[in-house]
Structure 1
Amino acid sequence: MGTWDGGPFGNDTAADFSGSLDGAAAHARAGIVHDTLTRVIDTAGYLEAPESEEVVAAAALVAAQCPGGDPVDPFSGPEEPLPDLTGLRDLALQALDRVMTEPSELMDLWDKSDSGTWRAYMRSLRNVLASQSPGEQLTLS
């Protein structure tokens, strides 16, 4: 696995994920992001790093379309336009929560090699996904 930074597209797996989105038909791209997010949510056992890296990239694509989200890196993110992914915010949050829950290889790898930058990025990404859009209303049960 090649990793060159802690951003969502700073590794070979995420770059390959971006390439698969670019190679997919325009109408299939939202489904690919959706499937990537849902694939890990119910994983009870050890979550491997490659699946987690794809989830972080997919969640970053969703967050990029949300208020306060960082734009996708034009050099390592997808080049082709993506449809509206904001409807996947809840799935992206659930998937990120799974990546950040033991047992998670990606979390373990970053804990061993990073000074907290990756966890700070994950919190920031999660905060963007969890924040309420101006047009949304909070409902209490």
Structure 2
Amino acid sequence: MGAWGIRAFDNDDAEDWLQDLLESPDVGSIEAAFADVIDAEDYLEAPQGEVAIAAAEVVAALQGRPDANSAREEIADLAFRPQPSLITMAQEALDRVLSEPSELLELWQDSDDYDAWRQSVLELKARVSG
């Protein structure tokens, strides 16, 4: 089993996505992470949700509002600033992760840490929103 935790980069899919973004910085990668979740018509797979949460954390950090418990300094080196449309996409993606049918939501609902995870996603949404 891979890494698993309530913070944005506490899982393998999110960490892999972040490393790819840092190696090839492109705002399109962030937009694609959100679009994959927003456009999911049926069941939202856990890896998509994990990556969208990581992308939202990048957006929050680029606005100067990183997670104090898991801030990643290298994100500050990215040379772009989130536009309002990207912030809106982040909010929509986080709402979708927290809505049925979402595998990530179901996995956390089955764990003892559901409340902490849900709260971390809601706090992230607030940081993204400003």
Q: Do Structure 1 and Structure 2 share a fold, with TM-score over 0.5?
A: yes
Aligned length: 126
Task: Provide the residue aligned with 2:122 in structure 1.
Answer: 123
Task: Provide the residue aligned with 2:54 in structure 1.
Answer: 57
Q: Counterpart of 2:41 in 1: which secondary structure? A: coil
Task: Provide the residue aligned with 2:77 in structure 1.
Answer: 81
Per-residue deviation at 1:128?
A: 1.9
- Kindly, what percent of the aligned residue pairs are identical? 37
Equivalent residue for 1:32, pick from 29, 32, 38: 29
The code of the aligned residue for 2:31 comes to H
Counterpart contact for 2:61–2:76, Cα < 8 Å = no
Q: How far apart, CA to CA, are the structure 2 residues paired with 1:30 and 1:36?
A: 10
| TM-score where L is the length of structure 1 | 0.79
Name structure 1 gaps, 5 residues minimum: 132-141
The code of the aligned residue for 1:62 comes to V
Counterpart contact for 2:34–2:90, Cα < 8 Å = yes
The 1:80/1:126 distance shift into structure 2, 3 A limit, reads: closer
| TM-score where L is the length of structure 2 | 0.85
The runs of at least 4 consecutive aligned structure 1 residues that moved more than 6 Å come to none
Larger Rg: 1
Question: Over aligned residue pairs, what C-alpha RMSD do you find?
Answer: 2.1
Counterpart contact for 1:22–1:80, Cα < 8 Å = no
The code of the aligned residue for 1:85 comes to P
Name structure 2 gaps, 5 residues minimum: none
